[in-house]
Structures are given as structure tokens and as C-alpha cells.
Amino acid sequence: MSISIEKKVSNFTEWFDKILEEAKIVDNRYPVKGFLVYREYGYKIIENIRLLLEKKLEETNHKAMLFPIAISEDSFSKEAEHIAHFKEEVFWIEKAGDKKLDRMLVLRPTSETAIYPMLQLWIRSHVDLPFKMHQSVAVYRYETKATRPLFRVREILWNEAHTAHATQEEAEKQVEEAIKIYSEVFNELGIAYLLLKRPEFDKFAGAVYSIAFDAWNPDGKVNQIGTVHNLGTNFSKVFDVKYEKKDGTWDYVYTTCYGFGFSRTLAAIIAQHGDDHGCVFPSKIAPIQIVVIPIPYKGFENDIENYCIEIFNKLKNDYRITIDNRKDVRPGEKFYYWELLGVPIRIEIGPSEVEERTATLVRRDNLNRKNVPIENLQYEINSLLKDLDNNLRSKSRETLENLIENCFNINDVKNALFKKKIARIEWCGNGKCAEILKNEAGGEIRGTRADIIEKANGKCLVCGKESKEIVYVARAY
């Protein structure tokens, strides 16, 4: 059976919103703009993503912690560049009951200014380093752009990690480790992305430099799903986080931070892997990996039901599995429902399967069918799940490669963005040229590749001067 993505490509917003509602991912009708209700299916997927990420973080000695949601105005205001960047997005707490607070509090937009006052107390000596922690929490940003479910919200579910080190070299190695962790998770989820070093004007406020994971989207916009920042000593100097070295002298710690967006990662999975039937979820994070569907036939009802239960019991300890034994729903309606939910494998059991002691497996990514003997069932399921995950990953990467278009003038960039593509250009590094490009073509310079070396050898697409970098231009959420 052929799979169509026509609806997803032609009207992504309508397709995406319909899937979020019908698959019970989130409900956008909560009466506070930019705040979502995560329904049972969507939240379970986020929990599975969280567990996958946290396992890798804790295997690399990141300790789970939980910092308060409220940050004092004094702490928040200490890093001038940081507050200048976030000031327009901050939710301020001004009152407690009817009483106005003497000093306002901030709902964390990110946690650097919450964590560093504590690091100043905890880190005293070289034996306290490296310090590595993470927390999975919500952060709050008053997005001034139009909100979009999962992509651009005001309550953001994410994991943030913060580290402190004795030397710049150790901090650099930590950045590399963070990129490796995030890359492994995104690769396991089959998400294709560009790993980009942000231009100076677009780095995280207070960072030495920023690396970002930009996932492609069917509507031509890129979706930033994760970021890694080297903070140098910018924050440690402001918050006076020092340590005593082995020789008895004191120095500021070098710090890093990185954030993994659960909401945006879920959006990327749905957007990249989904089709006109609905969601397609990788096996590792699918809430239900296998659904068993009885195909009723007169005179075989009990035999079919008992065989379905036998298969369920055979598989329940190794997979997340359910039986759809609703009597008032036809098999075709059940197929539609479980395809919408993106369950990786459907097992169909009718009279022929009962008689022959087989099972018919249908994989969600291409709806191909395969009849297998029950004694080979687990082997075949493992093989199908592995192949499904690999297929999602390879198709997504192939799509990304086909979306990148070399452009040589502003009109080329306009045309590429109109076709929902990502422009690859030569740039002189001047912020004025970036601004002209944004105003005339409607796309932003997202950065240079951080995973490969690309040497510029031509002229800046905007001003014609010698180029310094090859950069990628796209519209973004």
C-alpha cells in the first residue's frame, strides 16, 4: 500500500493541528494563550523521550537536581547581556496575595541565574570539579510572536544541563560530550537536523559561542530542538564562582549549559515521520509498540480471541502491547485509529492465522504486511522494529539533504525559501549583510556547520566582498 504525504506538505498547519487533536497529543484550547494541556498519549511520548535522554546524561555523570521555579530579581539582573536578551520575555511575579513584593521574582526563562548563586556556595576547591547537573522542568517565556502548539509556546518542557570545569579545555570537551549525547538521542528518534554554530549576533546571551540543532520541517521552517553553549567565565565572574587550585591560587570556573526541548522534539518527530494516515513513532518512544487486532469471523470468535490472548501473553514482557478487543468497532476503523496513533506494528489475527498458528504483521511506516509463524514472532518483530527505525532515520536524512539548495544571489534565496527549502550561501560575516538578507529574502542566517568543515572560497551573496563563511539560511519557528 502506498503512503501519501500530500496533505502534510500542502497544508502543514492544518495537518499538524488535526493530528495533535485526533491522536490526543495536546489540547490547545486551554484559556491561557501559549499554554498547552498535554494529553495522555502526548505526555507519555514526552516521558519516554525524557527517560531516553536522562539515561544518557546520568551515564556521563550528570546528577539529577531540581532548582526552584522562582529567581530573585537581584540574581536575574546580575548578568547584563543575559537580562537584556530575556527582559521582554520574562514573566514577573509582583504580588503575593494583595501585597506587592518589595523585590519582584522571575519565573525561570532558563536557570543560569538560579543555579550560579548556589555554585558559589558549593564549589570551593578543585576537588569539587567537574560539576555536572541536569533537571527536567518547565521554563516560561512570554513569546511575543504568534504561538504555535509544541513549536512556540510560553510554557516550555525541557531538560537543561549545567556544568563547571577547572579549565577552558575541559569546558570544550564538555561541549563535545553534550553534542554527542544530544546527537545520539536525536538519531535514535530518527530526527534529521543541521548542527550549526550560531553567528555572533544570534548566540545565547552571555555565551562565548552557541551550537544548535535545527530540524527540518515540511513547511520550510527550521525547528530548534536543542542547543549547547560554552559560557567561558562570563557567568562565573558575575556570580564569583571560584575554586582553589592545587597550587593554592584561586581561579574562576569555566562553565557550559545545554538545553533539550521535549515539546519541540515531539513536534519534530510528528512533522518529519508523519504521513496522511497520522503519526509514525519510532519504537523506542512509542507508548504502544504493538497492537493486536482480532479479525472476527463467524464460528471462530472464541478461537480468535484466545489466540490473541496467547500472543499478547507471549509478548507482554518484552514490548508495550495492547489488544483492541472492542466489539462494536469494525477492523477497518481500528486500523485507522492505530495508524493515526503511529503504533509501529499491528498484528492481525483472523481464522487463517489461528488455523496455521501464524500472525500477520503490518508495519506502520509503509503498511507492508508479512505473515510469520508464531515460533518466529519475536525475531520477526525485533527485525521489523529495527528496520522501521532505520527507515525513518534514512528517509528523514534524505529529505534534509534534498532541502538544501546552493544560492548565489538574494533572488536565489527568495526562490529557495518559497519552495520551502534551506539556502546554503557564502557570507562575509557582516551583520548588516545578514539584516539585508533577512529583510529582502525573509530568511535568517542560522549559522555554519559545526559537524563538518566547509571552506568559503567565493563572494558574499549580499555585498560581493570576499566571503568568510558558508552559512545556512532558513525561516524559523
pLDDT of residue 150: 98
Length of the chain equals 477
CA dihedral 212, 213, 218, 221 (to 10 degrees): 0
In the chain, DSSP finds a helix count (H) and a strand count (E) of 15, 23
If we measure between CA atoms, which residue out of 279, 258, 257, 276 comes closest to residue 189?
Answer: 279
Residue 3, SS3?
coil
Q: Give the span between the Cα atoms of 457 and 377, in whole angstroms.
A: 56
> What's the confidence (pLDDT) of residue 82?
66
Residue with cell 481500528: 334
Residue 354, C-alpha cell as written in the block:
489461528
Give me the helices (H) in 246-350, please: 262-273, 301-315, 331-340
Q: What is the pTM of this model?
A: 0.96
Query: Dihedrals φ, ψ of 220, to 5°?
Result: 90, -10
How far is it, in rounded angstroms, from Cα 305 to Cα 267?
37
In this prediction, residue 1 carries a pLDDT of 47
Cβ count within 10 A of residue 375 = 9
- The SS3 assignment for 150 reads coil
81 vs 349: CA distance, rounded Å:
62
The answer to whether the beta carbons of residues 469 and 215 sit under 8 Å apart is no
Burial class of residue 68 in the structure, from the number of CB atoms within 10 Å of its CB (0-12 exposed, 13-18 middle, 19+ buried): exposed
12 in Cβ contact with 218 (< 8 Å): yes
The residue type at 74 = D
C-alpha radius of gyration, the chain, whole number? 25
pLDDT at 339: 98
Q: Which residues contact 126 (CB under 8 A, 6 or more apart)?
A: 166, 243, 244, 245, 246
| Predicted pLDDT of residue 3 | 65
Please give the chain's pLDDT, 477 residues, in tens.
456 788 899 999 999 999 999 999 999 999 999 999 999 999 999 999 999 999 999 999 999 999 999 999 999 988 767 677 777 889 999 999 999 999 999 999 999 999 999 999 999 999 999 999 999 999 999 987 789 999 999 999 999 999 999 999 999 999 999 999 999 999 999 999 999 999 999 999 899 999 999 999 999 999 999 999 999 999 999 999 999 999 999 999 999 999 999 999 999 999 999 999 999 999 999 999 999 999 999 989 999 999 999 999 999 999 999 999 999 999 999 999 999 999 999 999 999 999 999 999 999 999 999 999 999 999 999 999 999 999 999 999 999 999 999 999 999 999 999 999 999 999 999 999 999 999 999 999 999 999 999 999 999 999 999 999 999 999 999
Torsion sign across C-alpha atoms 83, 84, 87, 93 = positive
Strand, coil or helix: what is 186? Answer: helix
CA distance 32 to 253: 41
Is the separation of the CB atoms in 261 and 318 below 8 Å?
no
Angle between helices 12-22 and 262-273 (to 10 degrees): 110
Whether 140 and 154 have beta carbons less than 8 Å apart is answered as yes
| Domains of the chain, earliest start first | 6-273 (3.30.930.10), 290-387 (3.40.50.800), 406-476 (3.30.110.30)
